[in-house]
Structure 1
C-alpha cells in the first residue's frame, strides 16, 4: 500500500492510498480514508468509471428502481463524489463541510463537476426550496460516526419538506444490525417522519460486525430487485428510541435517554 497524500483539516485526518488489492480483490485501486481507517471512497484505476464500493452501487439501484426519471438530488457528504459523478447530466447539489476532501477528490479521483458547496449539509439544505428534490442522500461521517444533527427527528422532518411528494431519503450508516442502539434509534426516528422505511446490509458472519447499513425512507412503498443491490439484503432492525434535538446541551429522546 502506497501513501499518495495525507492532509489534516479542522474536521479530519485524510489519507489517499494506492494498493494492489482492496477488500481481498486484486487490481489497482486508489482510495480515500479518514483517521478511523474506514474507506470513504475508492477508484479502480483500470476502470475509473466503475463504482467500486457496494454501498453506492446499491444506492444507485434504489434510486433508479424507485424513480427512474429523477432529476434533482441533494447529497450531504462528498467523499470522492462517486454517485454524483455517475450522473453528470443530473442536477446534483453536494454539500461537503471539509474543503480538503473536495480538493483531494479533484486532485486524485478526477472529480470535475462544479456542483459541490462547502459548508454544513443540514444548514445548506435548510435554505433550499421546499419540494425541490427527488432524492436526499446522507453519507456524512466523522471519526465518531454520523454527525448527531443528521440523525434527529427535526432533521428528518426538514428533509421531507425539501423533497417532492414522491421523494425519498437514503442514508449510509456504519453499525451493527443487531443490538446497535444508535442504528435502531436512527431507523425508528426516520419512521416517525416517513411512512415507508427499509434497511439493507451485506450478509455478515455475525450480527455484531460493524458494517455499512443503508436506510431508506419514503412517502410511498419502496421497491428493489435483489440482483441490483450489490449483495445488500433487506434486514429487520429492532425498535429504538426517538432522537430529538439537544436540550440543555444533551440529546433527548422519547425514552428519556
Structure 2
C-alpha cells in the first residue's frame, strides 16, 4: 500500500492510498478509507469509469431494475462520488457534511460535477420540495458509524415526503446479519414508513462478521435479478425496536 494523503477533519480521519489488489483482486486501485479501516470508495486506475465496489454496483442495479426511467436522485454521503459520477445524464443532488471528503474526491478521484452541497444531509433534504426525487440514497459514515439522526422514524418520514409516489430509499450500512440490534432496528423502523422493504448482504466467513448491508424501502414491490447484485444476496432480519429522534442526536446536526 502506497499512501498518497492523510487528512483529518472534524468528522473523519481520511487516508488516500494506492494498492495492487483490492479484496483479493489484482489491479491498480486508488482508495479512500476512513479511520474504521473500511474502504469508502475505490477507483480502478486502469479503467477509471468502472464502478469497483460491490455495494454501489448493487444499488445501481436496484435503481435501474425498479425504475429504469428515473431522473432525480438525492444522495446523503459523497465518498468519491461513485454512483453520482456514474450517471452524467441524470440529476443528482449530493449532500456531504465533510468538506474535506469533497476536496479529496476532486483532487484524487477526479470528481468534476457541480452538484455537491456541504452540510448535514437531513437538514438539506428537509428544504427540498415534496415529491421531487425518484431515489434517496443514504451512504453516510463517520468514525462513529452511521449517524443516528439518519436512521430514525422521523427521518424516514421526511425522506418519504420528498420521494415521488414510485420513489425508493436505498441505505448502505455496515453490520451483522444476526443479533445486530442496530441493523434490526433500522430495518424495522424503515418498515414503519414504507410498505415494502428488502435487505441484501455480502457473504462473509462467519455469521458474526461485519459486512456491507443494503436496505431498500418502497411503497410498491421491490424486484431484482440475483446475478446482477454484485454478490449481495437477499436476507431476512429479526424484528427490532423503533428508532425515534432524540434531542441529543438532533443537536449534533448543527455542530
Q: Note the residue ranges of structure 2 that are not aligned, 5 or more in a row.
A: 251-255
Give 1:156-175 correspondences, 5 Å limit: 156-175=156-175
Partner of 1:141: 141
Indicate conservation of the 8 Å contact 2:201/2:211, yes or no: yes
Question: Partner residue of 1:69?
Answer: 69
Are the equivalent residues in 1 in contact too, given 2:41–2:82 (CA < 8 A)? yes
- Residue 100 of structure 2 corresponds to which residue in structure 1? 100
Query: Distance between the aligned counterparts of 1:106 and 1:66, measured in 2?
Result: 31
Please name the residue that 1:87 is paired with.
87
Paired position in structure 1 for 2:253? none
* Correspondences of 1:140-219 after superposition (within 5 Å): 140-219=140-219
Cα offset, 1:205, TM superposition: 2.3
- Aligned residue-pair number: 250
Match of 1:121 in 2: 121
- Are the counterparts in 1 of residues 203 and 211 from structure 2 also a CA contact under 8 Å? no
Distance 1:206 1:38 in 2: 18
CA distance in structure 2 between the partners assigned to 1:38 and 1:206 by the alignment = 18
Paired with 2:112 and 2:181, the residues of 1 have a C-alpha distance of 39
Instruction: Give 1:204 shift.
Output: 2.0
Distance 2:179 2:131 in 1: 35
CA distance in 1, matches of 2:181, 2:201: 16
Q: Residue 141 of structure 2: SS of its match in structure 1?
A: coil
CA contact under 8 A between 2:58 and 2:232: conserved in structure 1?
A: yes
Deviation at 1:89, TM superposition (A): 1.0
Tell me the CA shift for residue 18 of structure 1.
Answer: 0.4
Instruction: Give, in angstroms, the shift of residue 156 of structure 1.
Output: 0.3
Mapped partners of 1:144, 1:207: distance in 2: 23
Query: Corresponding residue for 1:32?
Result: 32
- Calculate the aligned-residue CA RMSD, in Å: 1.0
Deviation of 1:23 after TM superposition, in Å, equals 1.2
After the TM superposition, which parts of structure 1 deviate over 4 Å for at least 4 consecutive aligned residues? none
- Conserved 8 A contact 2:168-2:218: yes
Per-residue deviation at 1:250?
7.8
Q: TM-score, normalised by structure 1?
A: 0.96
Q: 1:60 to 1:250 in 2, by over 3 A?
A: closer
CA positional deviation for 1:177 = 0.3
